[in-house]
Structure 1
Amino acid sequence: NLSSSSDLSETLCLEEEVCRLHQSLETLEREHREHEEVLEIQLKAHRDDWEAERGEKLQAIQDKMMAESRIHELESEVEALRMKVEELTCPLKQFQRERFSGNGEHCQHCGAEFKPSNYSPLNCRLHNTKTYRTS
């Protein structure tokens, strides 16, 4: 009888141990699932952040390329306008440059001679602002 009582006691102890270990296993599994869920949420958040930053960087690169392209367009326009202004510059300035460089005292457009005291080449149609009635 003593042996059966000790067997029964040992069995009860083992059953309690199994129950305790089973609960411990369930607790560990639950904690593991919760930790896994947290890691998945963090991973998704990091991926979303990375994709957003990547999109912003790509947009910044595109914006920079568009701005540089626009700058080149504007520089070309400015150069074209500068050349046009230079073409339309008053012949007196051209004359003054030619005089300063010693190239002569004639209008570059018509060849009319300039007089140092009076800038009035009468033969040059670029300088003649008179209008004539044609009808």
Structure 2
Amino acid sequence: MAVSEKQFCTFYLDNHLFGIEVLDVQEIIRFQEMTRVPHASQVIKGLINLRGQIVTAIDLRQRLNLAESTLNELPINIIVRTEDGSAVSFLVDDIGDVLEMSNDDYEEPPETVQVVAKDLIKGIYKLKDRFLVILDTRKLLYIES
């Protein structure tokens, strides 16, 4: 892999294609039962038990101000490692592919993107028939109470 290329784990939310860097992803698992956390932000859907480790589940639809899903399908967990070595789950609609992208196709988020969303977006890649929106994993984890 050339220095000018990166790999992204892609996923879908509300039929939009998003991605995070593969190096941030620990694993992908099907839906796990969650324990709700009283008085937590609406973004935090609950806690899951991942082989004895307590993991916070973050609803990325809510985090990105997208509409609630009208599908009757359970979300999928993308488990990411945090800087302190713990894990967090991002709840997504569906998993895409691992894509290797060239920096030649990379663009900064446009100025017209909402301020909240713009802070969470690292950049955008142009694909043949759509855009791949790259999210900043670290910023997704910072949730104001």
TM range (shorter): under 0.3
Q: Which TM-score applies when normalising by structure 1? A: 0.18
Relative to its length, the structure with more helix (as a share) is 1
Higher relative contact order, chain-length normalized (CA < 8 Å, sep 6+): 2
Q: Work out which of the two has the higher radius of gyration on C-alpha atoms and give 1 or 2.
A: 1
> TM-score if structure 2 supplies the norm length?
0.17
